[in-house]
Amino acid sequence: MMSFVLRRPGQSAILLLIMSVLVFAGMYVISDPVAVMAGEDATQADRQALAAALGLDRPLPVQYLTFLGNILRGDFGTSFVYGRPVLDLIFERLPATLEVVFLAMVLGLAFGIPMGIYSGLNRKKPATKLISMVTTIGYSIPNFWQALLFILIFAVWLRVLPATGRGPTTEFLGMQLSLLNPEGLRYMLLPAANLGVALICMQTRLARSGTQEVMYQDYMMFARAKGIAPPRLIGRHLLRNILIPIVTITALELGTLIAFSTVTETVFSWPGIGKLLLDAIYRSDRPVVVAYMILITLMFVLINLVADIIYAILDPRIRYS
Amino acid sequence: MSASMSEPGLRRLEPFRAIFRGYPAAAAGLVGVVICALIALLAPVLAPQNPFNQNELDIMNGLLPPMGEMMDGSVSLLGTDAVGRDILSAVMYGMRTSLLVAILSVSIGMVVGVVLGLVATMRGGWVDAIIMRAVDLTVSFPGVLLALMLLAVFGSGVDKVIFALAIGIWAQNARLVRAVGLSEMKKDYIAAARIGGISDLRIMFHFLLPNAISPVLVILPMAISGAIVAEATLSFLGVGVPITEPSLGLLISNGNDYLLSGRWWISVVPGLVLVLMVLSINVVADRLRDHANPYLQAKG
Amino acid sequence: MALLTITDLSIAYGLADGRELEAIKDFSLTLQRGQIVGIVGQSGAGKSTIGKAILGLLGENARISDGEILLGSENIARFSERQFGAIRGKRVGYIYQNPMTALNPVLSVGEQLIEAIEANTHRRGQAARDHAIALLTSAEVSHPEERLSKYPHQLSGGLCQRIVFAIAIAAQPDLIIADEPTTALDVTVQQAVLGTLKRLALQEQIAIILITHDMGVVSQMCDEVYVLSRGRLVEHGATARIIGAPRERYTRDLMAAIPSVDEKRPRFDVLDAFEETPGRRRGIDYLKSGIASDVGQTILLSVRDLSKTFKGEKRGEGFRALDQVSFEVIAGETFGIVGESGSGKSTIGRAILGLVEPDAGATISLAGRAIASGDRKGLSQRLQCIFQDPYSSLNPRMDAGTNIIYGIVAQGLVDRRSARVLAEDLLEVVGLPRAASRKMPHAFSGGERQRIGIARALAYRPELIFCDEPTSALDVTVQAEVLNLLKELQESLGLTLVFVSHDLAVVRQMCDRLIVMKAGQIVERGSAEQVLTEPGEPYTGQLLAAMPRVLRSAEPS
């Protein structure tokens, strides 16, 4: 079990290293930062001076090592647009992203798992057909268009929820959170629902297929044969088995939610790291893009690691081998 | 090899029909898929206007609502956008771009992924290790985010979008083929082929491939609809296809600015078409997947 | 009053196309308190379906179409799921074929036993736990307290089955349905597990319906036996009478197909005459012209110091599957390799065939010359293999004919056009019609697939065929047919066979000489006759004693 958990950090370190090479290659080698920074009407001398100031006249491996060294010291450079350290910018906006993702995840689990188990157990009931129809449609509506529809319906036509922006926040442990502010929560509902719909659909499908698969295992028939009543059969024998993939994939899904928060945050003008990334891409704010990529890779490495550990804890076949 | 190996032809169609019998939603989806494909293919013939020919556009026709009358007296069925472009025509051409990008990226991703998955399975050892670490690297990012980052680095364009999406797709296919391939490799018919002196290349393509490909084919429609949505998302965010070749996603994005002023059709119409197209593919995909699932099949 | 009376029971399965298939037709059975009866039949006979019907465990697509099942005086044939709740585990216990899949892999065995006790008795908490330990003790589980916290994958199959026994008797039911309780277990474990089951039944006065394909198990355990074929009752009666004087043709054939470990017969007395068609003669001629049949005392295969160590998970830890194995196979004989699962017997074959790389120091030579493991093509015409599992040994995406000839065509041994005719000839040689050539593997039964596998091996005209448990997955009558075929081919072609098996009775019928394997080492060698009648090693004696024998004359106890 320990070796199983310890095997990963090594791989993860290599993954991070490869990612840093790719980002470096993409940002510093393929495109020319001097041309972007110096602007159209810079002279040849200006360009050379700038290149020397940025250390771009040195050999590539040296440049890469400098780049890597800075990152390891936590120095991701200064934003061209905001003129502030990139890391500060990202950590300032991270809570806004995480709280929306958190709420979406709660929605996904709270609705998805019960709906999935119900439709897995009752294949022929009308409610199952309805659930299946709704999830297929929900799954087929692209995230961004669904966000537009939400705004059109709830903000423009019904006028019950604010369309965009973050609204008031409450400070908690040094973070600004909307979750703890009743008015702020109103601003959060549409973005969280927007992220949550796809998750609900996915959890429903996952729980449904897991239920269908587990219900046909010999041990479920044997449990019935030995006189176990349905509540325990479902609450213990079934749930304990299907939770393994659900919890593991949900942990991994955290990454997907963070990815799609770029879309959600853009449509709802929600000031999280996703919107920060897109603004940086539009305005060629390279240090922000680089920092986002490296940090998001780190975050994904951690998420994968946590998912593996959860999997090992939940499944005794892995725990004791 | 022999005639029998090319047999899957006409006779395969019969079970295909049986898959959809008794499933009206899936059958409707199949019809939807065929219609979308035909529209995309025949857009230049069917569309009332070539929306990308500047000579055919007239700013005076701008922002007409659906059924609005154009300057030349013709009726614009689904309205026009700010530059007087007929939405119906734009949507038809947009479907073309959306489908082209999706099909090409999935095809490239699938072929590369399947071949690398097979090679990893057959060779094992360090070849397997390298391929699978590359897979791990790729699949630890959601496809859209990966593509977004690639496009941020390399710039946008139709070819770059196809390339960026294919990178997310190959890894899934390689992983899938390898997982199935490894379980097939343990089976005796592979051992029999080895004992029979059959070369690795033949084993790979005549023994392993036909037996390991079905899960890839089952997720193929899902991969295409996923690629359509991913491309639309990227184009909506402005890092996808260029304005000269707008896909549905870019059309939605263009209409976005007029949404709050009540001119909903510019963005809602391409959005609805996108949803219907994706929905059609997904219900077909669901049916195919359920059909391939032994747990459901056993119940009849 | 009888404990259980089944009268004219019919069970139908709904098929995907809306039709119904009658799995059981007019089955009747009477069971008294404390009695053990067997339901015996080959795969597909419907014997498990009867067991499931008594517990209300038929799938959604199956229904009892006719007849009644009286448990005491209640007709449970039309019971609802809720009503069955009062029967399952309380009045009727269930023992499932494969204990490893019957237990939930993510719950501890203690939890699974205690929940059964709590669901079916009045014991709760500590009382339930104490009872669990008492049950495990009476099911002869050693260290019962420690076992409670274990998970199924941490225990052996035999131990898991004893835990399943403990679950089944938790509420002292009147009846236990035991569905193939020892099929998934090793032969030496089988006897002990059956012994425990029988002792529990006698001690607690529990009646047992024992569902099995194994006449040996029936003859040891059952007072009465019901013979089932294709969902119909063939005959029933006292076990000794059915075994000693079967009335029906089906039962007689079944008995004739059972190999005996105590005497060797030239052929199994089953119907399998081959039609001497021109195609079959042509096929035999093709094979004869290529297979050198210099039957004599020449050594064909010689294996010296064959060892194989599989790398372990951790560094420095390895598993020695084979340890310094040496033996010789004489041309024209059938050489047996016998052992339990994990003894390394299949690894020998895989090493000789080049599927696993042996440890350094081994010499494998064929007709005096060391074989080069890299020369896959050259080797393929000298060594071939027949596999254990007929469901995985053919490429499912090629028709039968292509499966047979793909390799020899790919190597250019025959040209493509004549290969198709050759495939059809070879199918006739192994007793299948020419038309089988165009059918895909899924259209064949297990026995038919095994014949196709034999044809594929023969097509190379090899000097030696390695038979890796070729009949262990087959029904006993099908096994008899396939073994007869192998004997016939060997006689007409002078083939040399290496026959790997765990079944001493099959080995007795097939082999001239043999080696006995245990934990990667040869423990005994000699002529089959001598080793299987007067074993020199205690281990061989244990194996022999553990063989389920059909006690043809003995009175059932």
Are B279 and A140 in contact (CB < 8 Å)?
yes
- Chain C residue numbers with beta carbons less than 8 Å from the beta carbon of A234 are none
Are A213 and B295 in contact (CB < 8 Å)?
yes
Q: Does the complex come out with an ipTM higher than 0.95?
A: no
A220 and A109 assigned to the same domain: yes
Are C402 and B2 in contact (CB < 8 Å)?
yes
Angle between helical axes of A2-24 and A60-72 (0-180°, round to 10): 130
Q: Is the pLDDT of residue C92 over 90?
A: yes
B130-179 pLDDT, tens per residue? 898 888 878 877 888 888 888 887 778 899 999 999 998 999 899 999 99
User: Largest Cα–Cα distance in chain A?
Assistant: 87
Please tell me which residue of chain A has the smallest CA distance to B137. Answer: A15
Instruction: Select from C60, C76, C104 the residue whose CB has the most chain A CBs within 10 Å, as the one to mutate to test that interface.
Output: C104
Q: Answer with the residue of higher pLDDT: C59 or C508.
A: C508
Lookup result for tokens 């490894």: B182
First to last CA, chain B: 35
Q: Which of A30, A262, A80 is nearest to B155 (CA)?
A: A30
DSSP string spanning A215-251?
HTSHHHHHHHHTT--HHHIIIIIIHHHHHHHHHHHHH
pLDDT of residue C373: 66
A62 and A182 assigned to the same domain: no
Compare CB distances from B189 to C381, C395, C419 and report the shortest one's residue. C395
pLDDT of residue B137: 78
- Chain A residue numbers with beta carbons less than 8 Å from the beta carbon of C57 are 221, 224-225
pLDDT of residue B299: 37
Q: Output the average pLDDT for chain A.
A: 84
In this predicted structure, which of A26-35, B212-221, C214-223, C475-484 has the lowest mean pLDDT?
Answer: A26-35
Please tell me which residue of chain C has the smallest CA distance to A214. Answer: C104
| pLDDT interval class at C242 (50, 70, 90) | very high
Share of chain C above pLDDT 90, in %: 57
Alpha-carbon distances of C81 from C86, C92, C327, rounded to whole Å: 10, 15, 60
- Written as six digits, the tokens of A166 are 């973050």
Q: Which of C547, C507, C357 is nearest to C516 (CA)?
A: C507
Using DSSP's 3-state secondary structure scheme, residue C331 falls into coil
pLDDT of residue C435: 92
Contact in structure between C155 and C163 (CB atoms under 8 Å): yes
Q: What is the pLDDT averaged over residues C462-474?
A: 91
Instruction: Count other Cβ atoms within 10 Å, centred on residue A101.
Output: 26
In this predicted structure, which of A167-171, A226-230, C30-34, C485-489 has the lowest mean pLDDT?
Answer: A167-171
Q: How many domains does chain B have?
A: 1
Q: If DSSP states are collapsed to H, E and C, what string results for C207-271? A: EEEEEECCHHHHHHHCCEEEEEECCEEEEEEEHHHHHHCCCCHHHHHHHHHCCCCCCCCCCCCCC
On whether residue A79 sits in a domain, the answer given is no
pLDDT of residue C310: 84
A221 and A181 assigned to the same domain: yes
State the Cα–Cα distance between residues C297 and A103, nearest whole angstrom. Answer: 81
**Residues paired with C337 in a beta bridge:** C500, C515
A223 and A256 assigned to the same domain: yes
Query: All domains of chain C, ordered by start, with CATH?
Result: 4-256 (3.40.50.300), 278-546 (3.40.50.300)
Using DSSP's 3-state secondary structure scheme, residue C63 falls into strand
Q: How many domains does chain A have?
A: 2
On whether residue B17 sits in a domain, the answer given is no
In tens digits, chain B (300 residues) has pLDDT values of 333 434 444 455 566 777 887 888 889 999 999 999 999 898 888 877 777 777 777 777 766 777 777 767 677 777 777 777 788 888 899 999 999 999 999 999 999 999 999 999 999 888 998 898 888 878 877 888 888 888 887 778 899 999 999 998 999 899 999 999 999 999 999 999 999 999 999 999 999 999 998 888 888 888 999 999 999 999 998 888 887 788 888 888 888 778 777 777 888 888 999 999 999 999 998 888 877 765 554 433
Residue C29 identity: L
**What are the φ/ψ torsions at residue B76 (nearest 5 degrees)?**
-90, 110
> What's the gap between Cα C19 and its chain centre?
32
- Chain A residue numbers with beta carbons less than 8 Å from the beta carbon of B145 are 258-259, 262, 296
A61 and A108 assigned to the same domain: no
DSSP state of A16: H
With 0-12 / 13-18 / 19 or more C-beta atoms within 10 angstroms meaning exposed / middle / buried, residue A41 is: exposed
B152 touches chain A (CB under 8 A): yes
In this predicted structure, which of A156-160, C168-172, C424-428 has the lowest mean pLDDT?
Answer: A156-160
CATH of residue B244's domain is: 1.10.3720.10
| pLDDT interval class at A131 (50, 70, 90) | very high
pLDDT of residue B146: 84
pLDDT of residue C14: 84
Q: Is the pLDDT of residue C555 over 60?
A: no
State the Cα–Cα distance between residues C423 and C404, nearest whole angstrom. Answer: 6
Are C57 and A221 in contact (CB < 8 Å)?
yes
State the Cα–Cα distance between residues C398 and C395, nearest whole angstrom. Answer: 6
On whether residue B173 sits in a domain, the answer given is yes
Residue B100 identity: L
| pLDDT interval class at A3 (50, 70, 90) | very low
Chain A: give the shortest CA distance to residue B258, in Å. Answer: 11
State the Cα–Cα distance between residues C256 and C253, nearest whole angstrom. Answer: 5
On whether residue A80 sits in a domain, the answer given is no
A137 and A15 assigned to the same domain: no
A68 and A137 assigned to the same domain: no
State the Cα–Cα distance between residues C507 and C299, nearest whole angstrom. Answer: 21
pLDDT of residue C312: 61
pLDDT of residue A309: 83
With 0-12 / 13-18 / 19 or more C-beta atoms within 10 angstroms meaning exposed / middle / buried, residue C316 is: exposed
A63 and A114 assigned to the same domain: no
C37-56 pLDDT, tens per residue? 999 998 888 899 999 999 99
Owning domain of residue B36: 28-47+84-299
Contact in structure between B212 and B83 (CB atoms under 8 Å): no
Please tell me which residue of chain A has the smallest CA distance to C104. Answer: A219
- Chain C residue numbers with beta carbons less than 8 Å from the beta carbon of A311 are none
- Chain B residue numbers with beta carbons less than 8 Å from the beta carbon of C416 are 2
Q: Output the average pLDDT for chain C.
A: 89
- In sequence order, which residues have a C-beta less than 8 Å from that of residue C396 and are 6 or more positions away? B189, B211, C440, C441, C442
Q: What is the pLDDT averaged over residues A274-299?
A: 86
Are A226 and C101 in contact (CB < 8 Å)?
no
Are B232 and A142 in contact (CB < 8 Å)?
yes
Q: What is the pLDDT averaged over residues A121-126?
A: 87
- Written as six digits, the tokens of C63 are 């229904």
Using DSSP's 3-state secondary structure scheme, residue B131 falls into helix
- Chain C residue numbers with beta carbons less than 8 Å from the beta carbon of A223 are 104, 112
| pLDDT interval class at C296 (50, 70, 90) | low
Are C354 and B198 in contact (CB < 8 Å)?
no
On whether residue B258 sits in a domain, the answer given is yes
Please tell me which residue of chain B has the smallest CA distance to C389. Answer: B188
- Chain C residue numbers with beta carbons less than 8 Å from the beta carbon of A218 are 96, 98, 101-102
pLDDT of residue B12: 55
Are C407 and B193 in contact (CB < 8 Å)?
yes
On whether residue A41 sits in a domain, the answer given is yes
On whether residue B172 sits in a domain, the answer given is yes
Q: Which of A72, A94, A127 is the last residue of a domain?
A: A72
A59 and A145 assigned to the same domain: no
Chain C: give the shortest CA distance to residue B190, in Å. Answer: 8
**pTM, full prediction:** 0.83
Alpha-carbon distances of C386 from B269, C486, C556, rounded to whole Å: 63, 11, 38
C471-509 pLDDT, tens per residue? 988 888 899 999 999 998 988 888 899 999 999 999 999
Chain A: give the shortest CA distance to residue B178, in Å. Answer: 20
| pLDDT interval class at A52 (50, 70, 90) | confident
Owning domain of residue A15: 2-72
C345-404 pLDDT, tens per residue? 989 999 999 888 888 888 999 888 888 766 778 888 889 999 999 889 999 999 999 999
Please tell me which residue of chain B has the smallest CA distance to C396. Answer: B211
B26 touches chain A (CB under 8 A): no
- Written as six digits, the tokens of C334 are 């059938």
Are A317 and C151 in contact (CB < 8 Å)?
yes
pLDDT of residue C292: 64
